[in-house]
Structure 1
Amino acid sequence: MSKLILASASPRRLELLAQIGIVPDQVAPADIDETPAADESPRRLALRLAEEKARAVAKSNGGAFVLAADTVVACGTRALGKASDEREARKFLTLLSGRRHRVYGGVCLIAPDGTERSRVIETQVKFRTLGTEDLDRYLLHDEWKGKAGAYAIQGHAATFIKAISGSYSNVVGLSLCEVDGLLRGLGYPVKEV
């Protein structure tokens, strides 16, 4: 049986895969430039980054299944990456306050024979209006660090969520429905849980 490599350093993605009984044989984060291209839409950015990560890892791991993903939080046409500091995190959260935004999850799977399948999953998230006290309390924790849009839906920011439409696991970091379908579709032996 071919091994499965997760091209991501995200502990959340490992936890999500474990929920559906999948434990990658190897974790090999891809080192790529994640800078958005000029005029690149958030949807396209999520897809491109997932594909580039998968291809970079597959290049040196022939004969394996390689799974990669990327999450982009978008407010309108603006992609909100990982906040570089607390000030930028506050700016992102203020922008999302009281608004609906989209979370795009790019997923790419490359099979041992080189067949590549990619998807973009879109989830809409509505934040309640956040006050200064909400932001101060949230930013006391380091939960915002390393998170697209400066929040983790599965943590303290769950109290900000007024509504969600689409895949919850996509917002956490990996749409399990899509990943399960991609793995099965390309012949990876997914165990029934």
Structure 2
Amino acid sequence: MSTLLRVLLGMPAAVTAVLLLTACGPSATPASGGSAASQETTATEPSTAAADDDSRADVFPLTLVRRGGIAGFHDRLRIHADGSVTFRRAGAAEQRCRLDPDLLDTLRQAAAQVRWPARTLPSTTATYADELVVVVQSPRGAARLDTPAVQALQDPLTRLLGDVSRPAGQRELCGPLS
């Protein structure tokens, strides 16, 4: 048995597959001049400048779905680019309010920096009794609010959920529409 074959057989399958694919892959550079890897990255990831220019447009609307917990929540909150918020609790009429401009800016900046882990909405099904599940969704992707990828959004969105749960006259972060 050759030394190369012994080495390959002793490696984990994933490493062996990568080595074999690398050895068998094309060696020529693409006609446009860059490497295949850099072209793939360019094609699938938006440039930072483009993301910054359109960050308000493509992070909103932000939608939160809160389900479960001891209180049995079943809420949906949507934040629009203009700062308007719609909020609906199970069994109650939809409410609307206007988000504090500083909080809107904080959310916009935080959501623009998130590396969204998925485009589809994660499950809102609890994994154990009385688990509170909060999912945040943007046009860029979706994640559970307790996911490290969206950590920058956890505090402002949690505060907002608490605020809109209060009677309209007692809210501090989401005032009347004007």
Q: Is TM > 0.5 for Structure 1 vs Structure 2?
A: no
| Greater RCO structure (CA 8 Å; 6+ sep) | 1
TM-score, normalized by length of structure 1? 0.27
TM-score, normalized by length of structure 2? 0.28
Higher helix share: 2
Q: Which has the larger radius of gyration?
A: 2
